[in-house]
Amino acid sequence: MLWLQDGITWLLLPPEQSLAFLLADNGFDVWIANTRGTKYSRQHTSLPINSSDYWNWSWDELVAYDLPATFQYVQDQTGQKLHYVGHSQGTLVALAAFSKDQLLNMLRSAALLSPIAYVGQMTSPLATKAAENFVAETLYKLGIFEFDLKGNSVAKFLKDACNRTGIDCTNLLTSFTGPNCCLSPSIVNIFLDHEPQSTATKNMIHLSQMIRQGTIAMFDYENSDENTRHYGQPTPPVYDMTRIPNDLPLFMSYGGADALSDVKDVQLLLRSLQDHEGDRLVVQYRNDYAHADYVMGENAKQDVYEPLISFFKLQ
pLDDT, tens only, 127-171: 898 899 898 999 999 999 998 877 676 667 666 766 766 666 657
d(CA 305, CA 113): 10
Quick check: 86 and 5 in contact, CB under 8 A?
yes
Q: What is the DSSP string of 289-315?
A: --TTHHHH-TTHIIIIIHHHHHHHHH-
To the query of whether residue 291 is one of the catalytic residues in this protein, the response is yes
| 43: β partners | none
Query: Which pLDDT tens digit goes with each residue over 206-262?
Result: 999 999 999 999 999 999 999 999 999 999 999 999 999 999 999 999 999 999 999
d(CA 174, CA 302): 23
Q: What is the mean pLDDT of the chain?
A: 90
To the query of whether residue 88 is one of the catalytic residues in this protein, the response is yes
d(CA 144, CA 148): 9
| Residue bearing the bigger pLDDT, 92 or 156 | 92
Query: Would you state the pLDDT for residue 157?
Result: 67
Asked if pLDDT for residue 192 goes beyond 80, the answer is no
Judged by DSSP in three states, 286 sits in: strand
CA distances from 269 to 40, 108, 220, 230, 304 (A): 31, 21, 21, 27, 20
Q: Which of 84, 32, 35 is nearest to 58 (CA)?
A: 35
Judged by DSSP in three states, 96 sits in: helix
Quick check: 220 and 60 in contact, CB under 8 A?
no
Whether the bond between 185 and the residue before it is cis, its omega within 30 degrees of 0, is no
Q: Of 6, 66, 220, 258, which residue is the catalytic one? A: 258
- Work out the number of other CB atoms within 10 angstroms of the CB of residue 186: 10
Question: Quick one: pLDDT band at residue 10, thresholds 50, 70, 90?
Answer: confident
CA distances from 203 to 18, 57, 137 (A): 28, 6, 10
d(CA 164, CA 147): 20
Query: Would you state the pLDDT for residue 6?
Result: 63
Sign of the C-alpha dihedral computed for residues 46, 51, 57 and 63 taken in this order: positive
The count of C-alpha atoms lying within 13 angstroms of the C-alpha of 16, restricted to the half-sphere facing its C-beta, is 1
Helices 125-132, 152-165: axis angle to 10 degrees equals: 100
Query: Would you state the pLDDT for residue 103?
Result: 94
To the query of whether residue 168 is one of the catalytic residues in this protein, the response is no
Helices 67-78, 89-99: axis angle to 10 degrees equals: 80
Q: Of 88, 109, 198, 261, which residue is the catalytic one? A: 88
Query: Would you state the pLDDT for residue 98?
Result: 98
Q: Of 253, 291, 293, 303, which residue is the catalytic one? A: 291
d(CA 313, CA 315): 6
